[in-house]
Amino acid sequence: MGANVITRNDRVDDAFNSSSSGWPDVRSREWISENKVTRDQVENPDKLGLPYFGTAWAFGDWIKAQSSRKPFTEWNGTIYHTADIVAHTLPDMPGLAVHLPT
């Protein structure tokens, strides 16, 4: 009979998966750091003075019409590549706006 061995990694995984932050926060922070994303590089639909955008696609169309040069776009708290928003796609992305450096 084999013993059930619980490794340190299993305990760490369990801790992250059961916490309120967990691996998504770790992946988000790593992705932002690795890609050197700053707030200045992110288009934000909630920025003062912008019209209301009911959908990501409407925001993407506006970005395209404005010829934005920002490489990233925030939508519903997630950071996407601007080219994806303009192309009307929302792939799974790890970066969360709450983790952007201030």
pLDDT of residue 56: 94
Element of type H or E holding 5? none
Dist. CA 55–CA 64, nearest whole Å: 14
Q: Model pTM greater than 0.85? A: no
Strand partners, 72: 42, 81
Dist. CA 29–CA 20, nearest whole Å: 15
Q: If pLDDT is split at 50, 70 and 90, which confidence band does 22 have?
A: low
Return the ∠ at Cα 36 (arms to 34 and 37), rounded to 5°.
Answer: 115
- Provide the b/e sequence for 16-28 (b: ≥16 CB within 10 Å): eeeeeeeeebeeb
The arithmetic mean of pLDDT across residues 11-29, rounded, is: 65
Q: What is the pLDDT of residues 34-79, one digit of tens each?
A: 999 999 999 999 888 888 999 999 999 999 999 889 999 999 999 9
Mean pLDDT, the chain, integer: 84
